[in-house]
């Protein structure tokens, strides 16, 4: 675990995970300790964070947990540190069902599903802790329930998975709303952006790169000739996840377009998974998706 002090009152924890490291951010405000995201289900990142917070006497004030969204790599440790308040978007309870559905496919995760602790304080647009200088706002795009956090004192923007380096993690089908959220980020006066995985960024350049990629992705016009393995991973799963989400939303014609693009692109050596199991799984998912559409 790497620990980095940020600004006057932030602590960033970076913990190993695959394919990306996980970042958990804490804000020590006058009356609370805010913890933004809590790591991966079954990976116990929060245990290490808790140990550090205990050893440094940072758990004297009540803890408020904030979930940027309900993916399983952001909510895993919601129950590790005692906290009366877990904040998430109004759609959290709906989205967590999809996470549970996904985890149910894996035997090892089944016991953990029962211990998942969903948000108990939800908001639609914004929730502000005025005296603490902390605000949480709706920032849909990566998922429909995505939220971001802004520390007004240190001007730190915590974005969850709205920004992923090197390429955006595309799941939800309303890509124009995703772009809107990113455009809104550019209006925020921030010193640093904390990403849910891997990175801390200091300027808006990467926001523009992300917007550009999403536009190209939407048009199925991504040039992947210079892709690394990580780019390829984000790209192929972006296609499949988007198709899945379009199917779920009843947008069958569009869904088919992305399924077919995934089907052909994963045969390209740049995009094809190196791992045979992933490759087989992906083909199965695409075939099943297309078959469901024909029903």
Give the footprint of Zn ion on this chain (CB under 5 A): 71, 161
The CB-of-161 to Zn ion minimum distance in angstroms stands at 4
- Give burial (CB, 10 Å; 0-12/13-18/19+) of 251: middle
Task: Judge whether 40 and 116 are in contact, CB under 8 Å.
Answer: no
Q: Based on CB atoms, which residue is closest to Zn ion, 18 or 57?
A: 18
Q: Based on CB atoms, which residue is closest to Zn ion, 71 or 199?
A: 71
Q: Based on CB atoms, which residue is closest to Zn ion, 83 or 241?
A: 241
Task: Judge whether 64 and 35 are in contact, CB under 8 Å.
Answer: yes
The CB-of-66 to Zn ion minimum distance in angstroms stands at 14
The CB-of-169 to Zn ion minimum distance in angstroms stands at 6
The CB-of-69 to Zn ion minimum distance in angstroms stands at 6
- For 152, the token pair is 């007004």
Q: Based on CB atoms, which residue is closest to Zn ion, 10 or 168?
A: 168
Which element (helix H / strand E) includes 292? Answer: helix 276-294
Q: Which residue is nearest to Zn ion (CB)?
A: 71
Cα separation of the two ends of the chain = 48
Q: Based on CB atoms, which residue is closest to Zn ion, 161 or 244?
A: 161
The CB-of-68 to Zn ion minimum distance in angstroms stands at 8
- Describe the crossing of helices 205-218 and 175-185 by its angle, rounded to 10 degrees: 170
- Cα angle 137, 140, 142; round to 5: 125
Task: Judge whether 202 and 189 are in contact, CB under 8 Å.
Answer: no
């Amino acid at each position: 675990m790497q620990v980095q002090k940020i600004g006057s009152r932030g602590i960033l924890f970076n913990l190993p995970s695959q394919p990306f490291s996980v970042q958990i951010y804490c804000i020590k405000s006058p009356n609370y300790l805010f913890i933004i995201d809590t790591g991966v289900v079954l990976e116990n990142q929060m245990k290490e964070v808790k140990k550090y917070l205990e050893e440094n006497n940072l758990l004297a004030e009540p803890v408020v947990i904030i979930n940027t969204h309900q993916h399983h790599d952001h909510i895993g440790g919601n129950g590790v540190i005692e906290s009366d308040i877990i904040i998430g978007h109004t759609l959290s309870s709906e989205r967590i069902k999809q996470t549970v559905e996904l985890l149910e496919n894996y035997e090892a995760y089944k016991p953990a599903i029962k211990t998942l602790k969903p948000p108990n304080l939800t908001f639609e647009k914004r929730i502000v802790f005025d005296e603490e200088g902390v605000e949480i706002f709706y920032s849909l795009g990566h998922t429909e329930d995505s939220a971001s956090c802004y520390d007004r004192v240190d001007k730190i923007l915590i974005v969850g998975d709205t920004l992923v380096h090197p390429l955006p993690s595309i799941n939800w089908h309303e890509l124009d709303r995703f772009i809107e959220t990113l455009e809104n980020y550019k209006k925020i006066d921030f010193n640093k952006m904390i990403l849910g995985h891997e990175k801390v960024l200091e300027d808006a350049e990467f926001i523009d790169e992300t917007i550009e990629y999403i536009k190209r992705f939407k048009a199925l016009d991504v040039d992947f000739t210079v892709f690394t393995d990580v780019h390829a991973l984000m790209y192929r799963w972006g296609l499949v996840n988007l198709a899945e989400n379009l199917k779920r939303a009843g947008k069958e014609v569009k869904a088919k377009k992305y399924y077919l693009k995934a089907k052909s692109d994963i045969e390209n050596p740049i995009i094809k998974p190196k791992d045979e199991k992933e490759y087989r799984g992906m083909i199965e998912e695409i075939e099943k998706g297309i078959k469901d559409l024909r029903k």
